[in-house]
């Protein structure tokens, strides 16, 4: 972490299924990152962590294993209980467990990984970094829904927002690119991956975001539909006889781009549109229209905007989507330089015209580094407090 150097990377895939494997890579002495795939019997998360530990121990990075000072865990939902990262103890684990109904697909898996990691490395401080924490600065008029008070007071029904680690990292990088302190900037950040959201950031703090109680609200995504009249759910239950579980599964896994045109990967949608597929064209029109609506809404919420930032898989790699998102916003100060937009690059960069009132940026996100940064800061802060 002194040099912010990536030593190793990887992923455990298909845990508990046939064909499970570890995709992994380490840097050699020259700095080159070599990646390969190894078949592993990953019957559960404990086996996955053991496989990861074995790979690291065998690699050059493992020779410095004694230097391991912390393990950071991404936790999707922190509710109102967690405004910042924290060292994990029994109370933190129990609170995350109680919040699981707010993220039933994510928090239980996050907890499982935490418990396995603590069992394997009880000597190492472990930190929970929450996707929702960055958005705890959103004021009540933006996070409250107009529903009965008891829904909020007793059941926590409110806007929480997600992709917080990405927004925290990208906002700082955007400020660096613009050469101004983040505390002086108003930004609209579009995190466009398979999951997609938008955030309005005023003076470095989140003041609104498109995802809500769950990651279903907001922009059109790969397999999630985003904003939806809640009456649709009641209608399907009454008229079609669909269960809550069936509706939930289709909203999460069969909606969005996939629901509109049959495929959820943006690259496939663009290819189909280019081939004349009318459903793909409609899917893209819905996707971009929803995005432009949020940009306009956040311009109003912020009062003035210094920059619009594109990040994540689609945001970083699709000049076509960036161009479409900015089309029609010229009179609002968004002036794209199409040559700069089409130019490839792996670093943060501006793609607006010279003299554009609003900067337009592409900023690659790095959620792993942000988790590492927040983990280290939490450990150092706790250590300093204990010495006082």
Cα–Cα dist 238/92, whole Å: 40
- For residue 87, give the nearest of 379, 381, 387, 388 by alpha carbon: 379
Residue 10's beta-bridge partner residues? 24
Cα–Cα dist 128/131, whole Å: 10
Beta carbons within 10 angstroms of residue 369's beta carbon: 14
Q: Has 337 been annotated as catalytic?
A: no
Cα angle 364, 311, 24 (rounded to 5 degrees) comes to 50
Coil, strand, or helix at residue 298? Answer: helix
Handedness of CA 191, 195, 199, 204 (dihedral sign): negative
Catalytic residue among 50, 131, 229, 385: 131
378, HSE (Cβ side, Cα atoms, 13 Å) = 22
Asked if residues 185 and 175 have their Cβ atoms less than 8 Å apart, the reply is yes
Write out the two tokens for 12. Answer: 């455990």
Q: For residue 361, report the phi and psi dihedrals to the nearest 5 degrees.
A: -125, 150
Write out the two tokens for 90. Answer: 């029994």
What is the arrangement of strands in the sheet containing 349-350, beginning at the earlier edge strand? Answer: 205-209, 196-202, 186-192, 307-311, 359-362, 349-350
Handedness of CA 271, 274, 276, 280 (dihedral sign): positive
Cα angle 58, 63, 68 (rounded to 5 degrees) comes to 110
Write out the two tokens for 268. Answer: 């496939």
What is the arrangement of strands in the sheet containing 86-87, beginning at the earlier edge strand? Answer: 71-75, 126-130, 86-87
Cα–Cα dist 35/147, whole Å: 50
Write out the catalytic residue numbers. Answer: 131
């Amino acid at each position: 972490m002194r040099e912010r150097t990536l030593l190793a990377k990887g992923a455990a895939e298909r845990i508990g299924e046939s064909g499970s494997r570890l995709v992994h890579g380490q840097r050699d002495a020259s700095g080159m990152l070599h990646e390969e795939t190894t078949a592993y019997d990953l019957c559960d998360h404990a086996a996955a962590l053991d496989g990861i530990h074995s790979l690291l121990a065998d690699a050059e990075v493992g020779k410095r294993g004694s230097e391991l000072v912390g393990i950071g865990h991404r936790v999707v939902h922190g509710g109102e209980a967690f405004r910042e990262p924290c060292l994990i103890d029994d109370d933190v684990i129990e609170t995350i467990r109680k919040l699981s109904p707010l993220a039933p697909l994510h928090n239980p898996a996050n907890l499982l990984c935490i418990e396995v990691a603590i069992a394997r490395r009880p000597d190492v401080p472990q930190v929970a970094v929450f996707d929702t924490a960055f958005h705890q600065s959103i004021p009540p008029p933006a996070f409250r829904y107009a529903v009965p008070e008891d829904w909020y007071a007793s059941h926590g029904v409110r806007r929480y927002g997600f992709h917080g680690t990405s927004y925290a990292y990208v906002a700082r990088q955007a400020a660096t690119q613009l050469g101004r302190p983040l505390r002086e900037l108003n930004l609209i950040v579009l995190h466009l991956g398979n999951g997609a959201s938008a955030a309005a950031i005023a003076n470095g703090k989140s003041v609104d975001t498109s995802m809500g109680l769950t990651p279903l609200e907001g922009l059109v995504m790969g397999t999630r539909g985003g904003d939806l009249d809640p009456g649709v759910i009641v209608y399907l239950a009454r008229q079609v006889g669909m269960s809550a579980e069936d509706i939930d599964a289709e909203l999460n896994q069969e909606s969005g781009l996939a629901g509109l045109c049959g495929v959820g990967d943006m690259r496939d949608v663009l290819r189909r549109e280019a081939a004349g597929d009318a459903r793909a064209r409609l899917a893209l029109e819905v996707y971009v229209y929803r995005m432009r609506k949020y940009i306009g809404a956040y311009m109003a919420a912020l009062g003035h905007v210094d920059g619009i930032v594109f990040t994540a898989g689609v945001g970083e790699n699709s000049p076509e989507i960036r161009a479409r998102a900015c089309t029609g916003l010229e009179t609002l100060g968004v002036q794209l330089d199409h040559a700069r937009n089409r130019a490839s690059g792996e670093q943060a960069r501006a793609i607006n015209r010279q003299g554009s009132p609003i900067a337009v940026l592409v900023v690659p996100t790095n959620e792993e580094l942000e988790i590492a940064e927040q983990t280290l800061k939490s450990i150092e802060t706790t250590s300093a407090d204990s010495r006082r």
